[in-house]
Amino acid sequence: MTPRTKSPTDTLDPDGLVVWARRFAEHLRVRNYAERTIVITNVALSGFIEWAADRSLTRPGEITKPILESYQRWLFYRRTSKGRPLTFSSQRISLTKVKGFFRFLAHQNVLLANPAADLELPRVERRLPRAILNERETEHVLAQADVADPLGLRDRTMMEVLYSTGIRRFELAGLQVYDLDTDRGTLTIRQGKGRKDRIVPIGERALHWIARYLDEVRRTLVVPPDGGVLFLNEQGRALALDYLTNLMKGYIDAAKLGKTGAVHIFRHTMATLMLEGGADVRLVQEMLGHANMSTTAIYTHVSIRHLKAVHDATHPAAKLAPKKVVESAAEAVAEKTDVLAALDAEADEEGSE
């Protein structure tokens, strides 16, 4: 029998990186960091610790700034399982978690100095969303769900909620029945990104589909005791995030629009269409739950339709001139040229006298 290769997580060294990573996770949990943040941190640190273990580096004191810079270069050249390079955003997230870990070690006096203090993070491009649906395309995607099927009705309802509110994937999965206020037409997002609650408006059409789902589908899916989660799977549990991604991607692919996306495409679409409809960017920022206006401002670049209309109405060269206007303009230029030629000839004659 082939012996199992020892993993860095097998070590019981109380001063090892693995043990300190666990203490760091507990440190974050005690300070009420979101569980999603802790999971992402654990994944990032596990990657770094495995990389370090491959180089016989297992303790915090063995890590120096040049070693961290070497890890940063490794991330830059790393390829995913599909052969693609890591995005700069992914690289930055990984390095940010590593920096937080070593800052914690320095505060705990495990290290005399923080080797990651001056580590320069990669700059992240502020890219426009890859795909945005227009109104017609969105309706076509929504129509892909078979509402005669209970799960199809559930899926249509979820898409209507995403389209109406622009909430994030994990916010949709975490919705509770009591988060819905039909009288006020609002939806309460509890503990969204950054551990912040917010209230967003939801349209009458989405409310209609929610009412149908609650009446026709949810009561058949729920398993006692009812935990109150709004959208359930066939086993009566909350929907997994990866399941939501694959589900929405399937409907978008089925629409055959030549565009790719999943849950987030509804968020991009909602924000863009609202801005094109005249919504104030600050209100869209509040609805999306963005901490910084610069994040919401991306959608002002995408919502080009209104800007195009203003450009057409105000820019003197926005439109190709009609043929008659071009011809009359040419005649005017020719006439002006003839007058100038006549004046030049007259001036020559006066000079010769």
Contacts of 150 (CB under 8 A, 6+ apart): 216, 217, 220, 221
Q: Where are the domains of the chain?
A: 8-107, 135-308
What per-residue confidence (pLDDT) applies to 350? 45
Q: How many CB atoms lie within 10 A of CB 174?
A: 20
* Residue that wins the pLDDT comparison between 9 and 51: 51
Q: How many CA atoms lie within 13 A of 232 on its CB side?
A: 22
Greater model confidence, 193 or 95: 95
Higher pLDDT, 124 or 253: 253
Neighbours of 202 (CB within 10 A): 21
Residue 45 in this model has a pLDDT that exceeds 90: yes
pLDDT of the residue at 334 = 54
Query: What are the residue numbers of the active site?
Result: 168, 193, 264, 267, 290, 299
| Distance set, CA 165 to CA 162, 207, 233 (Å) | 5, 11, 22
pTM value is 0.67
Q: What would the pLDDT profile of 264-289 be if each residue is shown by its tens digit?
A: 899 888 888 888 888 878 888 888 88
Residue 299: how many CA atoms within 13 Å on its side-chain side? Answer: 30
| pLDDT tens column, 253-264 | 999 999 989 998
Dump strand ranges (E) for 64-218.
180-181, 186-189, 198-201
Distance separating alpha carbons of residues 237 and 136, to the nearest angstrom: 33
Residues 6+ apart with CB under 8 A from 37: 28
Q: Rounded to 5, what percent of the chain is helix, strand, coil?
A: 60, 5, 35
Measured between alpha carbons, how far is residue 273 from residues 142, 210, 277, 281 in Å? 16, 22, 6, 12
User: For the chain, how far is it from start to end, CA to CA, in angstroms?
Assistant: 118
Least confident of 91-100, 131-140, 233-242, 311-320: 311-320
> Which pLDDT value is given to residue 4?
41
pLDDT at residue 22 above 80? yes
Name the class of domain 8-107: mainly alpha
135-308 CATH: 1.10.443.10
Q: Is the pLDDT of residue 346 over 80?
A: no
Which segment of 63-72, 128-137, 168-177, 209-218 scores lowest on mean pLDDT? 128-137
Residue 307 has pLDDT above 80, yes or no: no
In contact, 248 and 263? CB cutoff 8 Å = yes
Non-local (6+) Cβ contacts of 273 within 8 A are 134, 135, 303
